[in-house]
Amino acid sequence: MRKRTLVKWILVLVVIIAGIGSYTTRSKRATNQQSITAVGSTALQPLVEAASEQYSAEHSGIFINVQGGGSGTGLSQIESGAVQMGNSDLFAQEKAGIDPQHLVDHKIAVVGVAPIVNKKVGVTRLTTSQLIAIFTGKVKNWRAVGGKNIPITLINRTQGSGTRVTFEKYALKGHSSAVAQEQDSSGTVRQIVSSTPGAVSYVSFSYINKDVQPISIDGVSPTERNVMLNHWKIWAYEHIYTNGKPTGLTKKFLNYLQTKHIQTTLFNKLGYISVKDMHYQRTWKGQLSKESGVA
């Protein structure tokens, strides 16, 4: 018993010494390390994360912490100043409960959104009015729009999701989708559409793969080229917001995201469209102006 007490004290001592030792010998980098945090949109997360890794690799002692959490979280956290960058799929103005006054928008990329259907419905093209009829629940069977005799299963993204807002605004011309199944992630939506007969939903271009059938609207197919020319109307910006003008590391990193190197390599891999390649710009209210390049 007494031996045990001794052992206990020795252990405590060792831990303390180890603690002091490791504190004093901590790497010199630690003292001049810089770290910033980006939070928000899960759609933008992979891009920012990949860019931050490259940036950290190129600049030692820099630490960029990229988290998801959703656009709502991104905007609330940047508004409250808890983080340095807030990632969002939507304009801050489009989001209820956000005061956009102090927020500075940095449009990082453009994503296209396309309707997708289960491969067995036998439909590859629709008109806008057909699409609206389907999503508002007026048409209930694929036969009515030239497909097979399969009932339509509607799958929505969650209310407030950027993809859904974009889709309702530009594909359904402002109509709200009928109340139906909701899923809160693109991956799940794709999985459900690919496995459920008669399912229809919408995802951003990067999620389209061989398991699902993308739909052309009014004869325009969902391609990046068509988005750049605004022939394909269903697209949106990916934003990084800062609280006030960006400074220091945040500014450097945002600039880094705009470099040609990143925009050509990472963007292509992820299926994003560079803002520079766009022939048009759009305000949050949807007004178009024929200008290319970044703001």
207 belongs to the binding site for another protein (CB under 8 A): yes
Taking CB under 8 A as the criterion, the residue among 84, 183, 242, 243 binding another protein is 183
C-alpha dist (Å) from residue 75 to 92, 128, 282: 7, 32, 20
DSSP track, 7-65: HHHHHHHHHHHHHHHHHHTS-GGGGG-EEEEEEE-TTTHHHHHHHHHHHHHHSTTEEEE
Binding segment (CB under 8 A) for another protein, from list 109-117, 178-186, 226-234, 241-249:
178-186
222 belongs to the binding site for another protein (CB under 8 A): no
138 belongs to the binding site for another protein (CB under 8 A): no
95 belongs to the binding site for another protein (CB under 8 A): yes
Residue 225: CB partners within 8 Å, gap ≥ 6? none
Q: What does DSSP say about strands 85-88 and 34-40: parallel, antiparallel, or unpaired?
A: parallel
Rounded Cα distance between 179 and 137, Å, is 9
Taking CB under 8 A as the criterion, the residue among 128, 136, 141, 206 binding another protein is 206
69 belongs to the binding site for another protein (CB under 8 A): yes
* Main-chain phi, psi angles of 257, to 5 degrees: -65, -25
Binding segment (CB under 8 A) for another protein, from list 137-145, 167-175, 240-248, 267-275:
267-275
Provide the binding-site residues for another protein, judged by CB under 8 A: 1-2, 22-23, 25-27, 29-30, 33, 35, 37, 39, 42-43, 45-46, 49-50, 53, 56, 63, 65-73, 75-77, 79-80, 82, 95-98, 153, 158-161, 176, 179-188, 191-192, 195-199, 206-207, 269-271
